[in-house]
Amino acid sequence: MRPVYVAGAAVHPFGKHPGIKAADLGYAAVRDLLARTGITPEQVDAGFGGSTYGGSLLAQRVLQRVGVSGQPVYTVENACASGAAAVHLGWQLVATGQADCVVAFGADNLTGFGGGTLPLTTGDIEIEQGMVMPAAYAMRAQRYLHDFGAAPEALSAVSVKNRRNGAANPRAHFQGEVSPADVAGSRPIADPLRLLHCCPNSDGGAAVLLCSAEIAAQLPTPAVRIRASAVRSGRFHTGYRDMTWPEITARTAKAAYAMAGLAPSDVDIVELHDAFAIAELLHAEALGLADRGQAHKAIVAGEFDRDGRVAVSPSGGLLSRGHPVGATGATQICEAYWQLTGQAGDLQVPGAEVALTHVTGGGIFGVDNGACAVHILTTD
Amino acid sequence: MTTVETVGGEWIRRDGDNVTLTITRCHACDARWFPPRDVCSHCASTDVHDEPTGDRGVVYASTVVRAGPAAYRPPYVLSYVDIDGVRVLAHGGTGEAFAPGTPVRLGIGEIGRTDAGPLMSYVITAEDGAR
Ligand SMILES: [Zn+2]
């Protein structure tokens, strides 16, 4: 396989955009991406668009508006990992020499559902019993606190850190800091999780340009290399699985580290799937950023701060940036791109050379998550 | 007229006060499945058969859902319960979450209510003396 580069990134700011459809959010990001890179429609060999709620043929509806029409185009649905899956498929085409230049994006608009917990649509027995995503993560949180003697304050420390990071991110849904007392005093959602332990349902779009070395060299924008792109599905069973160990993340990350020839200790910044505060602790351990059962100590000690041992979600993560599900994986790549090219502004982690992005998709019956994607990007 | 819908009703076995669930055991790999199935989802063997669980389990994790679908009338307690090789989700209890490790007993109860009437399913109660 040949090297694949990210040579451009663009995001439609996340937030509540009730009047803007998913296709319009994706279009805004893709139009901006082409403007920034100067790529013409004829240069685009293929397009992939990730979305969960954006409707049929979203990728076509977005890309045809900027002249990418006639080429192979796919709309990808992998729940919260849809955007990252779109990037992965684009990476495959470039890595295998089937394409030189691919647009990959993600977009979703969740405002249309109104407030409250996201509707789960797969109709399995747990959903028929009233299962909602916060409840699944709440039970994982209860068991984690129980097994490792962690205090609920560790969960709040995740929210405080990520809201602090997001306060400096102009693309984030929430751009204000919160205190531990704010988190502890927010409305209970599913014990022990409170409102500020949960990411918001947001609207947004994000797009990246994936290309060969030859194309990257011709563009005015800097490029970073994708060292690894891995996607895995959840292992289905209805037995006694350990819900404090997201093995899908561990398995996907192991494949990505092997592909990149890098170890967790090499990583400078991580954008991970903190849909709920407990998720940062679980996934940080599964990604090898902390020892098993120790992430709750690492977060409290500031090891995941922007100036800590490893910067976890310097963009603010899902807790601050928001979670328009299909757009999340793509926007993580954008944030990593800006970090590695020194364009992250107030979010910049000085000297960042290795970035890892991680997103898991969907709570469906019998698996902790239906899909997981891990990307590792480097400055060269 | 009120319709009673029972979630998972086809897999609930009731014998007086004794409530158990139907699970599938695979003879090729010994995996166990709930809800039951005709092909093992681990090894794809069709050498499977259905059998009943016992009527008691142990809570793996639990939460009080305070924001959720109105039909289930939040707050409601949800728990993952380990029973004879399968982990099932169940309503039950009141007020607060069960502690991990709590021994519980299966029963049948109302888990919600829709315009059509009550929504029934298997539920759990703490065994005597357990909390
Ligand atoms: Zn089997």
CA of residue B109 to ligand 1 center, whole Å: 32
pLDDT, one tens digit per residue, over A135-157 is 999 999 999 999 999 999 999 99
Q: Alpha helix (H) ranges present in chain A?
A: 22-37, 58-63, 82-95, 125-128, 133-148, 152-166, 180-184, 213-218, 247-260, 277-286, 295-300, 317-321, 325-340
Taking the CA atoms of A125, A128, A132 and A137 in sequence, report the sign of the dihedral they define.
Answer: negative
What residue in A sits closest to B32 (Cα-Cα)?
Answer: A239
- Identify the band that residue A292 occupies on the pLDDT scale cut at 50, 70 and 90: very high
Q: Which of A188, A189, A238 minimises the CB distance to B33?
A: A238
CA of residue A299 to ligand 1 center, whole Å: 41
Structure tokens at A180: 């531990």
Structure tokens at A363: 């709570």
What residue in A sits closest to B75 (Cα-Cα)?
Answer: A190
Inter-chain touch A129–B89, beta carbons under 8 Å: yes
Q: Does A128 touch chain B (CB under 8 A)?
A: yes
Chain B partners of A189 at a C-beta cutoff of 8 Å? 65-67
Inter-chain touch B66–A190, beta carbons under 8 Å: yes
pLDDT, one tens digit per residue, over A190-211 is 999 999 999 999 999 999 999 9
Predicted TM-score (pTM) of this structure: 0.96
Q: How far is residue A50 from each of residues A121, B5, B40, measured CA to CA in Å?
A: 18, 37, 32
CA angle A232–A237–A240, rounded 5-degree value:
115
Long-range contacts of A18-21 (CB under 8 A, 24+ apart): A18/A109, A18/A111, A18/A112, A18/A203, A20/A109, A20/A203, A21/A54, A21/A109
DSSP 3-state of A74: strand
Inter-chain touch A142–B61, beta carbons under 8 Å: yes
How many CA atoms are closer than 13 Å to the CA of A328, on its beta-carbon side? 39
Contact A378, A340 (CB under 8 A): yes
- Classify residue B6 by its DSSP letter: E
Residue A176 burial (10 A CB sphere; 0-12, 13-18, 19+): exposed
CB neighbourhood size of A52 (10 A): 27
How many CA atoms are closer than 13 Å to the CA of A10, on its beta-carbon side? 23
pLDDT, one tens digit per residue, over B39-81 is 999 999 999 999 999 999 999 999 999 999 999 999 999 999 9
Residue type, A86: A
Q: What is the pLDDT of residue A122?
A: 65
Inter-chain touch A139–B80, beta carbons under 8 Å: yes
- Identify the band that residue A82 occupies on the pLDDT scale cut at 50, 70 and 90: very high
Q: What is the pLDDT of residue A331?
A: 98
Q: How far is residue A223 from each of residues A205, A380, B81, B100, measured CA to CA in Å?
A: 21, 8, 50, 49
Instruction: State the catalytic residues of A.
Output: 80
Q: At what angle do helices A277-286 and A247-260 cross, to 10 degrees?
A: 50
pLDDT, one tens digit per residue, over A297-314 is 999 999 999 999 999 999
Interface mutation vs chain B, best among A131, A142, A276, A364, most B CBs within 10 Å:
A142
DSSP 3-state of A246: coil
pLDDT, one tens digit per residue, over A32-70 is 999 999 999 999 999 999 999 999 999 999 999 999 999
Provide the shortest C-alpha distance from residue B9 to chain A (in Å). Answer: 11
Inter-chain touch A135–B65, beta carbons under 8 Å: yes
Inter-chain touch B87–A140, beta carbons under 8 Å: no
Report how far apart the first and last C-alpha atoms of chain B are (Å, whole number): 38
The percent of residues above 70 in pLDDT, for chain A, comes to 98
Chain A partners of B41 at a C-beta cutoff of 8 Å? 236-237, 366
